[in-house]
Amino acid sequence: MRLQGKTVIVTGAARGVGRACALAFAREGADLALLDVCDDIDAVPYALGTASQLAHTAEQCREEGAAVLTAEADIRDVSTLRAAVDRIRERFGRVDVLVNNAGIVGPSGKPAHEIDEDEWQVMLDVNLSGAWRMTSVVGPLLLAQRSGSIINVASTAGLVGYRNFAGYTASKHGLIGLTKATALDYAPLKVRVNALCPGSIRDDSRAEGRMLGQIARALDLPVAESEETFLQAQPMNALIEPEDVAGAALWLASDESAQVTGSVLTVDGGFTAR
């Protein structure tokens, strides 16, 4: 029960890594506030998490004994984030951990000069500015408590380049920069800020993740063969499981990492070690 008595906010909690993190935190005793847009975004070429998926995540967490609040919130709109956090404070009285997990992988699949203004803007607005907005709303609460942990879910694309993914790569590199700068801003008041960089995450049906398939589509690869294709680049000969990322997030959320801030933790099976 490493998170007993703590309240954790997870964005992008309807499915995938967000769901895996929520379940891991629930099993360790946390109270949970689960946020997701629960709607599609015009410039994003695939379906995003739904209200029913968010409800399913919440129910699974309640089965683990967690108290859970859900909110449909668009991280591009700071007013909806403030309203959601007001509800969280009213329900739980405090916030201890923020997991900035919400993100998109597309529109992608073209060289940098072919990206149009809307495609570039939505990528930065969700993946980078969304994390900054959540931090701007939740950060003051953590600073007032003089404790807390912010975990930004970046990507190996925050450390290395990927052909035909300039917008995604730029947004994730920016997220790591935001992590390091905010860690220094908040360190005097004992609020920690760290980044996670997952590698190729398997589209686990239990978590309803779809990211790997969407990357394959952006690269015009057969989706049915995507796991085998990405597996070939993995030094440990295995794709990353959503639970692998959740385990790392759990450590960063817990007091076991009390002296860890401004760090970038890879969960990539050695991909970026080459």
Q: Catalytic amino acids?
A: 168
Count the neighbouring beta carbons within 10 Å of the beta carbon of residue 87.
15
Is the backbone of residue 207 left (phi > 0), alpha (psi -120 to 50) or beta? alpha
Kindly state the tokens that stand for 263: 């760090």
Residues 108/218, Cβ–Cβ less than 8 Å: yes
Residues 234/271, Cβ–Cβ less than 8 Å: yes
Cα separation, 209 vs 240, whole angstroms: 12
Residues 54/12, Cβ–Cβ less than 8 Å: no
Residue position matching structure tokens 């995507």:
226
Kindly state the tokens that stand for 153: 């879910």
Cα separation, 199 vs 149, whole angstroms: 22
Cα separation, 24 vs 123, whole angstroms: 28
Cα separation, 52 vs 50, whole angstroms: 5
SS3 208: coil
Cα separation, 53 vs 77, whole angstroms: 21
Kindly state the tokens that stand for 7: 């309240």
